[in-house]
Amino acid sequence: MIDTNVQQRARTKTLTINDQAFSARSDQTILQIARENNIDIPALCAIEGLSDVGACRLCLVEIEGQRELKPACTTRVKDGMVVLTDTEKLQKHRRLVLSFLFAERNHVCSVCVSNAHCELQKMAAKVGLTHIEVPYLYPKMQVDASHRRFINDPNRCILCTRCVRVCDEIEGAHILDVFARGFESRIIAEMGRPWGESENCTGCGKCVQVCPTGALNEKGLSVAEQHKRRGFLPYLTTMKRGR
C-alpha cells in the first residue's frame, strides 16, 4: 500500500517567483526553491542542514493575494503561488529589521573577532543600510568565558538560534537554549550554568561555526581572525537522513 503522506510530499507544484515560473515539491519552502534557482532572499537564521524557525524575519516576501508578508524559510509552496522577493517595501523592511538587530545589542565591528567575516555586517552592506533608524539600547550583558575553548558574548548575539539547533539536531547534546523574553533574551548553557561547567557539552564547536556573528567564538583570536567553517553541516545532515 502506498503511503498517502509520501504521495502528498511528492506532488509537484508550480509557482512564480519574480515573474519566473518554477516547479517544486509540496514539502519545499519558498526559500528552498529560491536558493535552488539562485534567487537571493536575505536571511540570517536559515542555514542549510538545520530546521527553519523564521527567527530573523529578513526573508519575508510578498505573496499575491495576501496582505501580510510571509517568511520564505517556513512558508510551503502552493500551486499557482505568485511571489515577489525584492520590492521597495521589502527593502525598507529589511533595513529596519537590521536596524533593530544592531540597536538591540552592542555590535562594535572594529574590535570583533568576526570583523570582515560577519554575516550581519555583510548583510547590512548588501541591503544598503547606511545608518541605524532606531535608538540604541546599550544593554549590559555578561560575557561567559568559562569554557576552556570558547566564549559566549551575548552582546553580539542576534538570537538566530542556529547554535541551539545545531547542538540539538546535529550534535544531539542540546545543552544550549534561549532564556528569558524580549530585551532580556539570551543564549544559555544547561539552564543557566556557566558554559565551562556543563557536563554534557562535547566541545565539538559546531555552535561556534554556525554563529553568524562574533557572539560565539574561539579563544585566543584577535580582531578579524574568526573564520567560520561549515562544511560539516550538509555532510552530517545527509548522513543523519540516511540512517
> Given a cut of 90, is residue 61 above it in pLDDT?
yes
Q: What is the rounded CA–CA span in Å between residue 29 and residue 105?
A: 30
pTM of the model: 0.90
H or E segment and range at residue 21: strand 20-25
Residue 222, all three cell numbers? 584577535
Q: Read off φ and ψ for residue 25, nearest 5 degrees.
A: -80, 155
Whether residue 1 has pLDDT greater than 80: no
pLDDT at 12: 87
List, as one string, the DSSP characters of 90-125. HHHHHHHHHHHHHHHTT--GGG-TTTTS-HHHHHHH
pLDDT digits (tens, 9 = 90+) for 216-227: 999 999 999 999
Nearest Cα neighbor of 52 from 239, 243, 237 is: 237
Domains located in the chain, CATH noted: 4-86 (3.10.20.740), 104-229 (3.30.70.20)
pLDDT at 163 over 50: yes
Quickly state the pLDDT bin for 233 (edges 50, 70, 90): confident
116 pLDDT exceeds 80?
yes
Residues in CB range of 205: below 8 A, 6 or more apart: 149, 150, 218
